[in-house]
Amino acid sequence: MKNLFSTSAVPSFLAATAVVISSSVFSPANAASFTYNLDCVISGTVGTKKYDGGSTCAKVDTSFGTLTIKDNATDAKKVDVVIDLAGTNKHKIQTFDLNYKDDKFDNKSLFEISAASPYAVAKKNAITVDEDKQKASGYKGKLDLEINPSSTGASNDGFTATISAKNFDLNAADFNFQDTLNQIFAAVHIGNYGVKPGESGNNSIWVGASSYYQAPPKPKYVPEPRTTVALALFALGALGLLKKTNSLHKS
């Protein structure tokens, strides 16, 4: 019988084993996720300049935060929306608009939204769906869904919620579309705003997301010492077993 565990096969065998172990332990999730940079102004005052909507979301070389649409981790038919404003405990989310893939609209009344604690949505008109009709304060571009949080403020200036639709499968990728002017993916109405992101005040401002947020590159994974030791002991054990097998085979 041919010896399947020849000494020449040891390096390849151990390398393959290490790859399998590392990929099974450290592989990332495959759920779809899109994070947009709130990087342009629709209306309101930033610094000393006032913006009044129109056909452009004006770039001001700053970020007001991010908005993320992602597949729900426990229910594949739902999506989560997460808004994280610039600064800490400074602003309030009053309203925000999203876009949805036009050819997937079926029954508009089926869309629902539920907020995660400590947030909540308005008791009336929590989510309004009207294809290519939602407007952000004078902006001529149109979006599809408008959502009204009721419990965000200086103490919890972000927002997390789940969007669902009865008997309909929602996917994060279906929200990854721009408005009718092909400029923004979403719009957010921010209250408790001063004159710059992260500064509180008595103003409000509408901002848009015209680009994807570019997160800093993740550092390369360095195995913990105990993981490295465990892999080394496994390799030595496997090598000893193979040598013993070869010795018995020769005898």
Q: Are 232 and 98 in contact (CB under 8 A)?
A: no
Q: What angle do CA 32, 34, 35 make, to 5 degrees?
A: 145
Q: Taking residues 122-148, what's their average pLDDT?
A: 91
Q: Taking residues 149-153, what's their average pLDDT?
A: 88
pLDDT exceeds cutoff 90 at 109? no
Percentage of residues in the chain having pLDDT higher than 90: 51
Name the burial class of residue 134, with classes exposed (0-12), middle (13-18) and buried (19+) by CB atoms within 10 angstroms of its CB: buried
Cis status of the peptide bond prior to 118, with omega within 30 of 0: yes
pLDDT on residue 102: 85
pLDDT on residue 6: 40
Q: Give the dihedral sign, CA 131/139/40/149.
A: negative
pLDDT on residue 233: 62
Q: Taking residues 64-71, what's their average pLDDT?
A: 97
Of the listed ranges 70-74, 183-187, 235-239, 247-251, the one predicted with least confidence:
247-251
Residue 30 structure tokens? 């495959």
Q: What angle do CA 179, 185, 188 make, to 5 degrees?
A: 105
Q: Beta 111-115 vs 159-165: how paired, if at all? A: antiparallel
Q: What is the pTM of this model?
A: 0.74
